[in-house]
Amino acid sequence: MAIHIVLVEPEIPPNTGNIARTAAATDSVLHLVKPLGFSLDEKSLRRAGLDYWPYVSLEVHESLDEFLEKYSDRRMWLSTTKGDKLYTEADFRDEDMILFGKETAGLPRGFIEERKEWAIRIPMSRDTRLRSLNLSNAANIVLFEALRQLGFPGLE
């Protein structure tokens, strides 16, 4: 059993490093979709992931189109501030994929519109100055809800 965390064009190395550490600790699969805003060898990325990197099930994809072609048969939840459904209303299943967009822009608007029924959001203040939560925090919130629904498979 595994949940897949998909970061589409992540830009900030420490966020990705933190998410990688969580993926390792939860036996989740981490997908990185290029272009990346950093090198996978970058020191701050490695530092945030600590010594967990050898335990990360990692797939790197050249583009969103390549990723979608490879996994067209999978259920994909889109974590976005544009979602109508709360993340707690999603019915997560084994092997589901949870997609997160880049820190400065999120997932592409057209991509979300085409898959609106799969768009989920984390509730937050209506203050328009606050655009979104930190990517690594958001990924943890949604991932742990998915794992909770599945009974925390293989975790103690």
* pLDDT score for 129: 65
pLDDT at residue 45 is higher than 80: no
Band (pLDDT 50/70/90 cuts) for residue 65 is very high
Residue with tokens 């509730």: 123
| Six token digits for residue 104 | 């400065």
* pLDDT score for 41: 78
Contact (Cβ atoms closer than 8 angstroms) between residue 141 and residue 87: yes
Band (pLDDT 50/70/90 cuts) for residue 128 is low
pLDDT at residue 131 is higher than 90: no
* pLDDT score for 143: 98
Q: Which residue has the higher pLDDT, 49 or 32?
A: 32
Q: What is the largest CA-CA distance in the chain?
A: 40
Other C-beta atoms closer than 10 Å to the C-beta of 58 total: 14
Q: Which residue has the higher pLDDT, 55 or 46?
A: 55
**CA 43 to the chain's CA centroid:** 21
Residue with tokens 């203050």: 127
| Six token digits for residue 88 | 């707690």
Other C-beta atoms closer than 10 Å to the C-beta of 87 total: 20
Q: How much of the chain, in percent, has pLDDT values that exceed 70?
A: 92
| Strand ranges, E, within 22-106 | 29-33, 57-61, 76-79, 85-86, 97-100
> Burial code of 123-149, b = ≥16 C-beta within 10 A, e = fewer?
eeeeeeeeebeebbebbbebbebbbee
Lowest mean pLDDT segment, chosen from 44-48, 78-82, 146-150:
44-48
* DSSP codes of every residue in 22-74: HHHHHT-EEEEESSPSS-TT-HHHHHHHGGGGGG-EEEEES-HHHHHHHTTTS
* pLDDT score for 42: 64
* pLDDT score for 137: 95
pLDDT at residue 48 is higher than 70: no
Q: Could you give the dihedral angle defined by the CA atoms of residues 19, 20, 23 and 25, in that order, rounded to the nearest 10 degrees?
A: -100
User: What is the reported pTM?
Assistant: 0.93
**pLDDT tens per residue across span 68-124:** 999 999 999 999 999 999 999 999 999 999 999 999 999 999 999 999 999 999 998
